Amino acid sequence: MRFLTQAGRWCAQLFLGLFVLWQLLFLFGANFCEVAERYRKYWKDNDRVPVWLPASRRPQFQDWLNGTDRLHASLESVDRLTSRWSELTGQHERWQLFAPNVWYDVPFLAVEFRWDDGPPGQQAARDGATPRVYLLSDNEPADVNRYARFGRFRLRKYEEILSPELYVSTDKVAGQMKDIWKDRLKNQVDEEARAIKSYLRWRWDRYSAQHQELPEPTQVILHVRTYRIPAPPGPDPWTWGGPDECPMARWRPRSADSSLEVYDPVADRFDSLDE
């Protein structure tokens, strides 16, 4: 009996030690992957190379920026593993909440149902076609100056994951920003394709349950609407900038290929993710 007690105590101590070791590895891996990905996107979006990087290492660095090397694939595997553990144990954290990089763009999603082949945002429909329906997110406040929100936390976090970062840079012209948005939208839709399609299907199912007279739409378009904190001193009286609106993805429920399409802000059209 004494042997069993000692063996149980030893197993418990071993388990605790392994758990502490895993937790240390998890914290290091999760934070390292997040920081590495932020720097990768920053250097790629701004077409920059660190001054301290030797010239002999720049081809490998460019492969990492483009996500085509083994390092990027390995970091993605580590990030997936640590993300699942953080979700399971409730340790997920977004560091944009804290200074000095306080978040200054606030995105909300909107969904557009269309029963014609018109472009996103176009008011007119073909003769006999059902007019478009444009639905804001339940999380977008009716008055942006009354911003406190309670409830709908799970929906807010889900929409946050789907929302891309479409910032405006003061040192780039509109055409350059559209090129950046094009890459960012494609990457976001490619990474979250299943979640986006599930979200669009849920929005339509929810809406159609209250409007059973409507047929299935020809196209369901996801938009992102971004409010911004103006640069100091801001307007007088002070108010948010925006919303700046941009289509993001399209789903065609009636088509033979009902896969998602991503919006190209440069060509002003939707393209297949494979293009």
Same domain, residue pair 158 and 128 = yes
**Final residue belonging to a domain, choices 60, 93, 126:** 93
Structural domain boundaries enclosing 33: 2-93
**Final residue belonging to a domain, choices 44, 76, 93:** 93
Same domain, residue pair 123 and 39 = no
Q: Which pLDDT belongs to residue 167? A: 65
Q: Which pLDDT belongs to residue 171? A: 56
| DSSP three-state, residue 271 | strand
Of 68-72, 147-151, 187-191, 245-249, least confident by mean pLDDT is 147-151
Per cent of the chain over pLDDT 70 is: 87
Taking 90 as the threshold, does the pLDDT of residue 199 lie above it? yes
Dihedral angle sign, alpha carbons of residues 46, 52, 53, 55: positive
Same domain, residue pair 108 and 162 = yes
Residues whose CB falls within 8 Å of the CB of residue 157, separated by 6 or more in sequence, listed in order: none
In the structure encoding, which two tokens stand for residue 262, read together?
């991503």
**Final residue belonging to a domain, choices 93, 112, 146:** 93
Same domain, residue pair 81 and 113 = no
Same domain, residue pair 83 and 155 = no
Tens-digit pLDDT profile for residues 24-52: 988 888 888 888 888 888 788 777 777 77
**Domains of the chain: total:** 2
Same domain, residue pair 89 and 102 = no
Residues whose CB falls within 8 Å of the CB of residue 6, separated by 6 or more in sequence, listed in order: none
The average pLDDT across 91-117 equals 73
pLDDT level of residue 127 (50, 70, 90 thresholds)? low
The average pLDDT across 125-152 equals 78
Q: Within 10 Å of residue 238's Cβ, how many Cβ atoms? A: 10
Q: Which pLDDT belongs to residue 204? A: 93
Of 98-102, 129-133, 228-232, least confident by mean pLDDT is 98-102
Same domain, residue pair 18 and 65 = yes
Same domain, residue pair 55 and 132 = no
Taking 80 as the threshold, does the pLDDT of residue 5 lie above it? no
Same domain, residue pair 135 and 268 = yes
Same domain, residue pair 254 and 151 = yes
Tens-digit pLDDT profile for residues 110-122: 999 998 887 776 6
Taking 60 as the threshold, does the pLDDT of residue 101 lie above it? no
